Amino acid sequence: MPVIAVILSALMGWVVFWLVRYDGHEVVASYFSAAARQRRMQRARDAEAKAAVRSVTEARDGALALLIKLGSVDHAVLPAAENLIDGAARTVFAYGDKLVEHRTFADYVARNTPSFSVLFRELAPLFDKQLSRDERHDLVDLMHKVAEAAGGMTPARREMLDEVQARLLPQRTVRG
């Protein structure tokens, strides 16, 4: 037992000596400072990634951004999907002569959001507030059409649509 006490006191002495004489306290402070700096940088990156989508205040603009994100490959909307999206923006969303403004804004939101999932998760509360069940169903149907026009149903697009359908059109349970 006395040997253990001597070893522990020697180790503690060396730790105190290192902290005081060899600026160990600065090493410890810089370690915690670097970790805090990394956390702050990560929070800033997350906020930056969501800044564009958080600027959406209307469900139609959010739906248009979702359609663009779904119908694009490498941030470029495929031509067949583009025609379908523009047609829906004119007729379903009733943008008329303001199509270019809304389309540009939706392109910006879709391009500056890192993934479809992030975009949808941020827009889902807006859809819940502003869209009726029939409008949500129409949106899901339109998304299926855009996915088909953008080159067919891939596993990634299937996952995207399943996520949207599960959130916007939950299955109603029947009580018996």
Task: Provide the residue ranges of all domains of the chain, joining segments of one domain with +.
Answer: 2-49, 58-168
Q: Which of 156, 132, 174, 131 minimizes the C-alpha distance to 70? A: 156
Tokens of 29: 């402070």
> How confident is the model at residue 45, as a pLDDT?
82
Digit-coded pLDDT (tens) for 4-38: 888 888 877 777 767 777 777 787 777 777 777 88
Angle, CA 24 vertex, CA 21 and CA 30 arms, to 5°: 145
Is this prediction's pTM over 0.85?
Answer: no
The C-alpha atoms of residue 102 and residue 87 are separated, in whole angstroms, by 13
Tokens of 73: 């490959």
Digit-coded pLDDT (tens) for 53-81: 888 999 999 999 999 998 887 677 878 88
Mean of per-residue pLDDT scores for the chain: 85
Average pLDDT over residues 141-147: 91
Average pLDDT over residues 124-134: 91
Looking at residue 120, its amino acid is F
Q: Is 50 in contact with 122 (CB distance < 8 Å)? A: yes
Tell whether the model's pLDDT for residue 91 goes beyond 90.
Answer: no
> How confident is the model at residue 126, as a pLDDT?
92
Torsion of CA 143, 144, 146, 148, to 10 degrees: 160
Top pLDDT among 122 and 14 is at 122
SS3 171: coil
